[in-house]
Amino acid sequence: MIPYFEQPVLSLGPLKIHAFGVLVATAMLVGIQMTLARCKKLSLDQDLCADLLFYTLIAGFVSAHLFAVLAYFPGKVAKNPWMLLKIWENISSYGGVLGALFGIWLFFRWKSPPLPAGTGWKYLNAMAFVFPFAWAIGRLGCTVAHDHPGAVTHFPLGVSLSTPEAREYITYFYGAAGRLADLPEVGKLAKIAYHDLGWYEFLYTLLVIVPAFLVLDRKPRPTGFFPLAFVFLYVPVRFLLDFLRVSDALYGGLTFAQYAGMAGFAAAVFFLFRRT
């Protein structure tokens, strides 16, 4: 089992720098630089690409926060609407993706100079190829922050509950979900683990999706290939992992991410058949 550890924090006077924030910032920088390099390799306009990335990131961050608080913590928002303005807290990955796509559409609709038909797909394809590399770093941030706890388990890759800090952590989330009765007594709890879904996604992205993209990129692919490839590789796994979540709000027995995943998968299938 993986040992539980507190998220590393660097204190600089009143300022606290959390490992999660550092890794998310690193993911953004890596994604930006790799996308610019990818556009250069594909003979796409790097200045236009930089402007597109700006719109994408801003829309993605705002949407990631709004979707997180509205979809997963609607009760807390009702009690404290100011949560909506704290965009540095509570981030939804699917919300971020939806916002990023909206930012891309907005850019090509209002900001971009006139371009030949289909050019926008070339930029989207370049960004989609880079996305898993940045995503893996971001999910490493989720791993060190332990912000996607799942059910208790005996699974070897789960995070150990042998320490009092780990047991206090998972007890809090079970309590928030009204499921304390589902936890075993302390002696048994200390011998098992909990599913850390950020950790699982990091491993899957790093060990499966990233190598798959590198192999698929060895020969030319049609425009729009990599956005669809990511959807088909990621969404089914994420859909199943969400059944392990503990305290997320459910709608008809499913999480917001599962509904978003089904919609995204259906859209990908539609585009695939349309292009074929």
- Could you tell me if residue 1 is inside a domain? no
Q: Which residue has the tokens 């690193």?
A: 26
pLDDT in the model for residue 119? 87
Sign of the dihedral defined by the CA atoms of residues 82, 25, 137, 11, in that order? negative
Provide the pLDDT for residue 77: 73
Say if 147 falls within a structural domain. Answer: yes
Query: Would you say residue 143 lies in a domain?
Result: yes
Q: Is residue 4 part of a domain?
A: no
> What is d(CA 207, CA 247) in angstroms, rounded to the nearest whole number?
28
pTM: 0.89
Structural domain total, the chain: 1
Q: What is the mean pLDDT of each run of 10 residues along the chain (276 residues)?
A: 89 85 93 96 94 92 82 74 70 84 90 84 95 96 92 95 94 90 91 96 97 96 93 96 88 89 94 82
Rounded to whole angstroms, the Cα distance separating 181 from 185 reads 9
Q: Considering the domain boundaries, does residue 2 fall inside one?
A: no
Classify residue 138: in a domain, yes or no.
yes
Q: Which domain holds residue 29?
A: 9-275
pLDDT recorded at residue 68 = 77
Note whether residue 230 is domain-resident.
Answer: yes
CA–CA separation, 226 and 129 (whole Å): 6
pLDDT for the residue numbered 275: 74
Q: In this structure, is residue 3 part of a structural domain? A: no
Cα distance between residue 268 and residue 256, in whole Å: 18
